[in-house]
Chain A
Amino acid sequence: MTQPFPFSAIVGQDDMKLAMTLTAIDPGIGGVLVFGDRGTGKSTAVRGLAALLPPITAVAGCPVNSATLTDVPDWAQVTHTELIEKPTPVIDLPLGATEDRVVGALDIEKALTQGLKAFEPGLLARANRGYLYIDEVNLLEDHLVDLLLDVAQSGQNVVEREGLSIRHAARFVLVGSGNPEEGELRPQLLDRFGLSVEVTSPKDIDTRVEVIRRRDSFDRDSATFMTTWHDADMALRDKIVSARAALPHVEADDAVLHDCARLCVALGSDGLRGELTLLRAARALAAFDGAPVVTRDQLRRVAPSALRHRLRRDPLDDAGSTTRVIRTLEEVLA
């Protein structure tokens, strides 16, 4: 059973599913940060989404999944020329992974056995054009998180070490998850994630029972279960693919830009990243809805995810950031 749990069979957690779908439509939105309890299907969703996305075409044997032969980096010494289809990569970054493993390093085995100076690509290379999933991102060492976000934003991994000077494309969607009770993330890092969602275990008995029922039938007979959900998954895939095609044609007029700016000013979010992400996410949502222009309705739906982690934290305000965003949303877009 190498098949992951189907994305559309995940019960509830609509916020999380929507945020992930939006990044699949426009990877430029930036990463998704999922904060919440254990056992709420965070990793299931990432794996499910990647399995649902259309396969990517890549040069066979290329360590960075290059789409065309001209994109293949020189150092990779790829001898194949044919293009193959492979599933969208989802790379797990385990806690405690060393910098070498992440960015890549001198290939010690080649250096020792053949005397060659070769580059051994790291996790970032493998995640190119796919997803990089970090569970418990809040426990990751700060210098690694800095590095990851830097690469995620620039889309390029630059390695300057041990006499190597190498750069390769590393465009991936960063998905971080964690439990805020176990440690917080620095505000500078929070800001770099495009969207953030909060997930909680469903409180409603019927939903919980449904989750268990589906998971149980998946575990017992995954083939039948996959067939049942195949159509729903494919429908979602088609929707994402057509949204990707429609994305460049979605218009956002000045009124919407004004709304974005007013929202961010009212919330006092730092910098302009808030506005930009909000607009991109709203545009992706409009494409997903099949709408030709971005409207307030889309803004309203993505604003909490796009802005809730960008607020100045007020230690004395116990009401969550989500409530503040929603309250401001009501006032500004009234």
Chain B
Amino acid sequence: MTDPDARWTRVSLAIACLALDPAALGGMWLRARVGPVRDRVMDGIETALLGHSLRRLHTNIADDALFGGIDLSATLATGQLTRTRGILRDPAVLILPMAERASAALAARLAGALDRPTGLALIALDEGAEADETLPTALAERLAIHIDLTDQPLSCAPELDMDRDALAAARDLLPRVTVSDNALCEMTKVAHRLGISSLRAPLQALAVARACAALAGETEVDEPDLVTAVELVLVPRATQVPESEAPEQTEPDLPDPDDTSAEDDTDPDEQPEFLPQEILLEAAKAMIPPDLLARLEAGRATRNAPSATGSGAAKKGNRRGRPMPSRPGKLDGQSRVDLVATLRAAAPWQPIRRAATGQHDRLHIRMSDIRVKQFQETSDRAIIFVVDASGSAALARLAEAKGAVELLLSQAYARRDHVALISFRGDQAEVLLPPTRSLVQTKRRLSGLPGGGGTPLAAGLKCALELAELTRGKGMTPSIALLTDGRANVDLSGAANRATAAADATLMARALRARGTPGLVIDMGNRPTRSLSDLAAQMGMPYLPLPRADSKALSAAVDTSLDGA
């Protein structure tokens, strides 16, 4: 990792680049929790961008605020159609706090707006605490500069000093800055070798390099500018560490016989310009965090999980489902007005309003009369399979249990249920598969499930509980299917102790019950275990000894229990 001071210098430079031409860069992804460090960055941004209009959005912003719509209060009050002008119509720098909570729909709208030549830029303030809470990829892709200040100490974050005169001078210079074709090639190659497949990245890097050159008062992009651009744009997107082998194929065609006469004397100075790819890569390598792979995993997980489910269907929607009585609301472009109910609400007031306004020839409707339709939506079901893969279970009937899960999976697929898979063995539990509809993935994970080790039942339950809460937060209805032999012998802390293991399992069972998560317990031991049926009772779930016959019988049993829940 790089040291905090260097990082802060880069932040300062990034803000300056952004201030020169916000729209060309698309914007900035700033990952930092709320705190003095972020405040300083925001102060710097505000100073640097003085003169641009800064608009703050929020993640639940309605369409009529973004794209413009009818100003209902004004329209109703005057009887004349009055429209509001949407935020996305005018050039502005948008600031989106809590960007990690932006829904796929909002991300799509903003991404579309950024693609249009309106002159918009976005500063996404990502306050994600966990690695898998991040900006939607559609947005991250369009913002040139990615900065992570998660562990920037305040001592290394002095106030940013933005020289506004220098910025103004650089802004004038920017249109005259040129990029040589070589620099362009090098940038593309570096991006490729860093494993960045999107072609937006090199373009954004070039824009940053141009801004850097303008800041330095030059009209030609040279090597330091390219290095900075690589650091700011390409490194955060890198998906692989470049190998150090240096292909020299670019050199032979460079010295053009026609041009040599003119360039001979300047050749020594020009040399580094021809070979910056290696230098750029060196710079990139120095900055690539050692936990690159871990981060990639996290990034991929988020891409699979929240987006595939949509942003989570609200339980009480206003778009589809079983109709419910309409209720007061406002026109936000999303909900549908119940005209009859609105008129009914307005009717009793007509004599009074007519008297008050003196206008007798028209219908008086006020904002408070508006009624919107509501629909009750049944949310998607998510079945969380918690499979005991411990040594004792493996000896018993792990294979049979796998068969049963596979059968259930095919049914879940037919019904479009989401499926998640947790296994526990040794001293911990792990989520093998976050809620997904992909049958193939689940099957693959399941068949690759190894067995052996202790039985950390409590850890498995805890993991299931957390995942259930997470899916509930996304608007799905979770239910848990626990498959175990019930011989808990590893407690929550990971220690092998039969007594505490059982106590911990009971504790977690109570917690599950308190949340009201439905489910069932399947005993996969050779004969029914008393302790497990007690545990099932603690959780308020039906207990089911794995039938001897075949997995089909089991799946039928599971189906009836879960449907009843």
Contacts and interface: CB of A to CB of B under 8 A. Distances in A.
A5 to B, nearest CB: 11
Contact of A205 (B188, B201, B308): B188
Interface string A126-141: 0000000001100101
A239 to B, nearest CB: 27
Interface in B189-208: 189, 191-192, 197-203, 206
Contacts of B81: 109, 113
A39 B117 contact: no
Contacts, number: 123
B440 A96 contact: no
B439 interface: yes
Contact of A43 (B115, B192, B320): B115
Contacts of A315: 439-440, 443
A98 to B, nearest CB: 6
Identify which of A101, A108, A111 gathers the most chain B CB atoms within 10 Å of its CB.
A108
B179 A108 contact: no
A39 B70 contact: no
Nearest to B198: A39
B35 to A, nearest CB: 32
B308 A182 contact: yes
Interface stretch (B47-55, B100-108, B347-355, B454-462): B100-108
Contact of A219 (B191, B203, B310): B203
Interface extent on B, as a size class?
A: 35 or more
Contacts of A141: 310
B307 interface: yes
Given A106-B339, A205-B188, A211 B199 contact: yes
A213 interface: yes
Interface in A106-163: 106, 108-109, 111-113, 115, 135-136, 139, 141, 143, 162
B456 to A, nearest CB: 31
Chain B interface helix/strand/loop/mixed:
helix
A217 to B, nearest CB: 9
Interface string B143-158: 0000000000000000
Given A95-B104, A96-B108, A184-B437, A111 B198 contact: no
Interface string A305-333: 00000000001000000000000000000
A162 B107 CA distance: 31
A105 B331 CA distance: 14
B199 A40 contact: yes
B475 to A, nearest CB: 13
Interface of A: 1-2, 37-41, 43, 92, 94-96, 98-101, 105-106, 108-109, 111-113, 115, 135-136, 139, 141, 143, 162, 181-184, 200-201, 205, 208-209, 211-213, 215-216, 219, 315
Given A95-B104, A208-B202, 7 more contacts: A2-B117, A43-B115, A94-B105, A94-B112, A101-B333, A105-B336, A208-B188
